[in-house]
Amino acid sequence: MAMIPWDLFAASATLLIFCATYLVVAVGRLPGWHLDRTGAALVGASLMVVVGGLSLEQAYAAIDLNTIVLLLGMMILVAHLRLSGFFRLVSTGLLNRARYPLVLLAATVCVAGLLSAFLVNDTICLMLTPLVLDLTKKLERDPMPYLLATAMASNVGSVATLTGNPQNMIIGHLSRIPYWTFTAALGPIAIAGLLLTMGLIALAYHREFFTAERLPEVASRRPHCHRPMAVKSVLITVAMIAAFFAGFPIAEATIVGGSLLLVTRQVKPVKVYRDIDWPLLVLFAGLFIVVAGLASNVFFVRATTSVEQLRVSDPLVLSVMTAVLSNLVSNVPAVLVLKSFMTQQADPQRAWLVVAMAATLAGNFTVLGSIANLIVVEQARAQGVEIGFWQYFKVGAPLTLLTLLIGVWWL
């Protein structure tokens, strides 16, 4: 009986491990088992080393520490802003001043979009959703359009900068695109997308918004805010964003800013550490290794060469390819897979901008399209509000298609 060559076995095994890992990442868990996305990425990364797809040293080298450090620094910063009461103070202050439903919608879109542009969109949804639910309950309004606005505006707003979402952070490191260049290219798309978000939601729920009815006055106490901590957090955030635009390394500026916030007499560090999404950091590390193992696979190299013949350098083709892949396996894994195609592009910078735009905006296509959407859905469900697939899709699908077309035209 003929023996199977080891190289062929390793190539087949790495391909199987990649597909199995991405399947669990796409579904969210392994049916019948307590294995979630993070566990799947860690198991997949370990098996890549076991079957010989990568050596242990190559696996270590595959982990993009700049992205991990950037995420960690941003999580520390956002944790301090949350603990200080900054998010509640700003959001409640703006939303409470709205006197008409359409103004309340505009305020929701602006708050979610603007904050998500500079801070991680998943975190903004985590902080903003309870506030929107609480306010709409007090005003006796239908919470559905405002929750949709929170999720969709958060996705759209995050496309504007390299720190708006995890996939942009990865793209920033891989592409070396300066912060200002990225924002100048994709910022206008984000602005147009936020206007579209407000318009489509208003049309879909026209009875809620096209009315002269004023919102009732809601008597509420001023949200608790730890002023010294909030001031310090805001000052460091502003300094950090200024450093981004000035050209300082993003990961370095973020981790320095986050570290300085830990020097305090008011907050125990353990409270900050509880807010850090450690599983997400492990997920990213595992996915970096799994994708590196795939990149060494001879079958994948041949497939990459074949796909190149499909004119992926065309922004429209690349956008469609990215959007479809992002909805199949989620946007971060999609970006990691597409990394192999970018070095072969005639204009890699423009190609990376197209991928960033399409991967982020594709998150609005269905309720499962992004982690930000799922955060809003889960928090709403916990308070008795169900966001159905079709309720989201009837606004999210046209919004995705229109924003992608605007993005392709602009780029």
- Helices assigned H by DSSP within 314-384: 315-329, 331-342, 348-361, 371-382
pLDDT for the residue 223: 62
Nearest alpha-carbon partner for 41 in 17, 61, 60: 17
Tell which wins on pLDDT, 340 or 162. Answer: 162
pLDDT for the residue 4: 46
Q: Is the pLDDT of residue 227 over 60?
A: yes
> Range with the lowest mean pLDDT among 181-185, 203-207, 276-280?
276-280
pLDDT for the residue 310: 54
CA 217 vs CA 90, 109, 139, 143, 245: distances in Å:
18, 21, 8, 17, 41
Q: What is the pLDDT averaged over residues 213-221?
A: 67
pLDDT band at 2 (very low <50, low <70, confident <90, very high): very low
CA 316 vs CA 142, 159, 311, 321, 325: distances in Å:
37, 17, 10, 9, 14
What is the identity of the amino acid at 134? D
In this structure, are residues 403 and 361 in contact, taking their beta carbons and an 8 Å threshold? Answer: yes
> Range with the lowest mean pLDDT among 165-179, 199-213, 229-243, 339-353?
339-353
In this structure, are residues 69 and 172 in contact, taking their beta carbons and an 8 Å threshold? Answer: no
Using DSSP's 3-state secondary structure scheme, residue 36 falls into: strand
Give me the chain's average pLDDT, please: 83
Residue 250 has what DSSP assignment? H
Tokens of 7: 């190289």
CA distance 116 to 360: 12
CA distance 205 to 345: 43
DSSP H/E element including 252? helix 250-261
Using DSSP's 3-state secondary structure scheme, residue 401 falls into: helix
pLDDT for the residue 352: 92
Instruction: Give the 3-state secondary structure of 52-94.
Output: CCCCHHHHHHHCCHHHHHHHHHHHHHHHHHHHHCHHHHHHHHH
pLDDT for the residue 75: 87
Q: Is the pLDDT of residue 275 over 60?
A: yes
β-strand partners of 36: 29
Greatest CA separation found in the chain?
83
Nearest alpha-carbon partner for 167 in 367, 343, 404, 353: 353
Q: What is the pLDDT averaged over residues 105-122?
A: 89
Q: What is the pLDDT of residues 285-321, one digit of tens each?
A: 888 888 888 777 655 555 555 555 555 667 888 888 8
Q: What is the pLDDT of residues 123-138, one digit of tens each?
A: 888 888 888 888 888 8
